[in-house]
Amino acid sequence: MLTSAQDYVDIFRIGYSETFNNNFKKTNSSTRVKSFEVGLTFPVVLNDIHALITGADFSTNKLQLFPQAERTNLYSTNIKLGLASTYSEKWSSTIVLLPKIASDYNGISGDDFYMGGFAVLKLQKKKNLIYRFGAYGSQEAFGLFTTPIIGWYYLSPNKKFEMDMSLPISADVSYALGKTTIGMDYFGIGRSFNIKEENESDRYVDLSSLDFAAYWQFNFLDKSVLLRTKLGYSTNDYEVYTQDDTIDLGVSAFSFGDNRNQLNPSISGGFYAKIEAIYRFNLPAEVSRTPEIK
């Protein structure tokens, strides 16, 4: 079996955030983005080699897509189904499918359904250090999006300093101070939402978002319940296109064959605040030896 540096699983997560004064470029108008998200991850240990990963995520973003327009709700619901496997004391993997429905949920159809997923190979370099190599891919309204994943998980010998890196998608660096933890995190990925409105042709929203934040975390019940307050900056840009206006391929921050005609003014980034609660299940020794579950 595998002795993992990460001896916990984040079972449940819920958060609410607001990004302030997102200006429409070359106009005098702005919008405020209100976001809510909730996620559940439930691993099932099958045997010494395999663990089944199940769960679901739901999120909503509310904002104006055009100056002086009514607010639009953009929803996303995805199912998580995958397998974590151990091959030796050093090597393990995680493969997860992420089918989702992402749109304004007005008359849901097959156009709102997208398939995605990720695969990560992990190398246990030391007892407290894991390297990650993999890829994420998703069918989106604008075309196929994919990005490599390179990262590591590190926990200091005194279990105070922690690094959880899956670049270029996410990063989290923190230091524990007893009942509290201070840290910095980052999350960035491309996604899309199909939108349908009366008297308008079918369109979609291409969301490019990079979120940077510092946080203060309060630890309760032996670090099983975590409450975080975050302050940071988000570059979120909600670009609107007609449904048939797509790209050839998106790879990380690069787009190939992108000759689209954007319908709305670009939206600038802004400062944001977020509150977040996490239920963390601390694995007993015999279970924490199963593959790392992320």
Give average pLDDT by consecutive 10-residue segment, the chain, 294 residues.
59 96 91 96 92 96 94 97 94 96 93 96 94 96 95 94 95 95 94 86 92 96 94 95 93 87 94 96 53 43
Residue 207 lies in a domain: yes
Tokens of 99: 């089918």
Q: Which residues contact 155 (CB under 8 A, 6 or more apart)?
A: 5, 6, 128, 161, 162
Is 290 part of a structural domain of the chain?
no
What b/e string do you get for 210-243 counting C-beta neighbours within 10 Å, with b at 16 or more? bbbbebebebeeeeeebebebebebbbbbbbbee
Respond yes or no on whether the N-terminal peptide bond of residue 168 is cis (omega within 30° of 0): yes
Measured CA to CA, the distance from residue 232 to residue 95 in angstroms comes to 31
For 258, counting Cβ atoms within 10 Å of its Cβ (0-12 exposed, 13-18 middle, 19+ buried), the class is: middle
The dihedral formed by the CA atoms of 112, 75, 256 and 233, expressed in degrees to the nearest 10: 180
pLDDT of residue 5: 53
| Domains identified in the chain, total number | 1
Residue 242: domain span? 8-282
Determine, yes or no, domain membership for 288: no
Give the CATH number of the domain where residue 43 resides. 2.40.128
- Which helix (H) or strand (E) segment holds residue 238: the answer is strand 237-242
End-to-end CA distance of the chain: 18
**Residue 227 placed within a domain:** yes
**With b meaning 16 or more CB within 10 Å and e meaning fewer, what string describes 176-191?**
beeeebebebbbbbbb
**pLDDT at residue number 287:** 42
The residue among 157, 166, 158, 272 whose CA lies nearest residue 215 is: 272
CB 31 within 8 A of CB 64: yes
Residue-wise pLDDT for 62-86, tens only, equals 999 999 899 999 999 999 999 999 9
Q: Helix, strand, or coil here: 112? A: helix
Q: Is there a domain that residue 140 lies in?
A: yes
Q: Is residue 159 in some structural domain?
A: yes
In a domain, 2, yes or no: no
- Give a yes or no: residue 3 inside a domain: no
DSSP one-letter string for 262-284: --S--B--EEEEEEEEEEEEEPP
